[in-house]
Amino acid sequence: MIRLFFKNQRQNSLDPLVRTFRKMYSQTATELNKLSNNEIGAWLKSFDTVLTDCDGVLWIYNNAIDGAPDVINRFKEIGKKVFFITNNSTKSRPEFLEKCKMLNFRMVEEEIISTAWAAAKYLQNRNFQKKVYVIGSTGVAKELENVGIPYEGIGPDVLTGNLQNLVHGPFTADPEIGAVIVGFDEHFSFPKLFKAASYLDNPDCIFIATNTDERFPMSGKVIPGTGSIVRSVETAAERKAEVMGKPNPLICEGLFSDFQIDAGRTLMIGDRANTDIELGANCGFQTLLVGTGIHGLRDVEIWKKSVDPNDKKRIPDLYLPSLGDLLKYMS
């Protein structure tokens, strides 16, 4: 049902201005700062709604990327609808809003879409009446609390002794558990995997993943992402999760129903092509890749040569080294 909804959104007729840009720049990774001022001005008029990723586009950890707050605030000043859409499940929406205020992004809570919120909303919209086992962080817990859904599983759960102690120990499946949510969990452990898979052995138990981001590379190090945890649980449970985060269009469900955004006049900005840009392709949005995060033009060149149709979805319409570079065209 949800996939048919987004298919219909993509089939909506586009106005001539948007159609022109789609024809000229669709999945070309054209460098925006090499276009003329007139072309960039026309492009700015071709969308009414801006969706943007956060980490790697707007900020890195607790530091705003140069010029990003000014660009976002300017978008709003000139009448664009702006929404932050993040796969990060470690914070609740109020916590993200506090970060926005600290970094000078003039946002309100309703303009922030996180996977923790989306997971809680997904259950609420389906009149879920049971309890949730959570592999995740306090962000998921707080969003479940906000909609009145009980949960358990947050925090460390370490193996004491050996496997026999776990298997023959005091754990008994709680019959009130009706869903398992898997998000980023720095305390992920064998006992948590054992419990999640045991609950999911019941086919009526709902299985939700906040996102499937694979990893977060750092200089000389790799931090495993939520996707590595999700894959572990999927393997043990022999089931696939319903993924809330990008690139699944499900995360945009509320944008279409509550805010009536027009897919043909929406821009998706991101730094990770297999989530942000692919979401844009799945929903029929225009796409802009920025080079301050995970992927860049070198990656795009590889995808252009690929015969895999999924790789083609990762090629953005336009590219900018940094979102802040856009400010000089927005006066």
Q: How many helices and strands in the chain, by DSSP H and E?
A: 14, 16
CA atoms within 13 A on the CB side of 122: 26
Q: Which residues pair with 64 in a beta bridge?
A: 59
> Is position 262 annotated as part of the catalytic site?
no
Closest alpha carbon to 85 in 229, 217, 272: 272
The answer to whether the annotation marks 55 as part of a ligand binding site is: yes
| E strand residue ranges, 30-127 | 30-31, 49-52, 59-60, 63-64, 81-86, 112-114
| E strand residue ranges, the chain | 30-31, 49-52, 59-60, 63-64, 81-86, 112-114, 131-135, 151-152, 177-182, 206-209, 215-218, 221-224, 242-243, 266-270, 286-290, 318-320
Regarding beta strands 215-218 and 49-52, do their DSSP bridges make them parallel or antiparallel, or are they unpaired?
Answer: unpaired
CA distance 238 to 253: 27
Q: Phi and psi dihedrals of 205, rounded to 5?
A: -75, 125
> Is position 55 annotated as part of the catalytic site?
yes
Catalytic residue among 53, 213, 311, 317: 53
Residue type, 269: I
The answer to whether the annotation marks 246 as part of a ligand binding site is: yes
| E strand residue ranges, 27-166 | 30-31, 49-52, 59-60, 63-64, 81-86, 112-114, 131-135, 151-152
The answer to whether the annotation marks 308 as part of a ligand binding site is: no
CA distance 279 to 301: 19
Local structure of residue 145 (DSSP, 8 states): H
The answer to whether the annotation marks 271 as part of a ligand binding site is: yes
Local structure of residue 292 (DSSP, 8 states): S
The residues that are catalytic are 53, 55
* Binding site as annotated, residues: 53, 55, 246, 271
* Binding site as annotated, residues for Mg(2+): 53, 55, 271
